Amino acid sequence: MRALHPGGTETTMRLLQMAEAHAAPASNRCALDMGAGNGEAVRLLEGQGWKATGIDLEPGEGILWGNMLHTPFLEGSFDLVLSECSFYITGSLEGAIGEAWRILKPEGVLALGDVYFGTADEWERMLAAHSFCLLELEDITDLWREYYLACVWEGTAEAFCHVRGKGCRYYLAVAGKERG
């Protein structure tokens, strides 16, 4: 079975390592995977000691049904929000980022791997416009191209992402919630 995002588990573990470096140490840390799919990242989070929940419009086993633009969670519910290859396909990248900000605790961390049509500086400015401070960024566009071309070859690319035109980048980003 093909991974649901570029690099599969290895990329998820890299993103989690990046997030761990910036997450506040505490017991009973809560994480949400927005766009959790089959729950692989939720299981990885649990293996790292997080109390993890996942939501998706097409949930797998142990994953709740949920819309990333309007989650059922209270404001300030999570220490970490993780999302991979999901915010862009909501049709409102900025709406998903705004919802992540809403449900994160003060000084919570957003760990995001996704496509973006712009430079790293533009990505940082977009996050800052939503009261996030970029803490770490890694460009894995080459890995994204390999992944996307494999999906095109298999005829599955349109099922998960309508990538348009040139200038598409894929970033792993960790951002901290600033007080609004």
Instruction: Give per-residue pLDDT as tens, 35-45.
Output: 998 899 999 99
- pLDDT tens column, 63-74: 999 999 999 999
The number of distinct structural domains making up the chain is 1
Does some domain include residue 153? yes
Dihedral angle sign, alpha carbons of residues 142, 10, 62, 55: negative
- CA-CA distance, 100 to 122, in Å (whole number)? 19
Does some domain include residue 24? yes
Q: Residue 97: count other Cβ atoms within 10 Å of its Cβ.
A: 25
Axis-axis angle for helices 8-20, 40-47 (nearest 10): 40
Checking if the pLDDT of 2 tops 60, the result is no
Axis-axis angle for helices 120-129, 93-103 (nearest 10): 50
- pLDDT tens column, 76-133: 999 999 999 888 888 898 999 999 999 999 989 999 998 788 889 998 999 999 999 9
Q: What is the CATH number of the domain that holds 19?
A: 3.40.50.150
Which residue, 123, 146, 147, is CA-closest to 136? 123
Task: Average the pLDDT over each of 74-78, 140-144, 159-163 and give the range with the smallest value.
Answer: 159-163
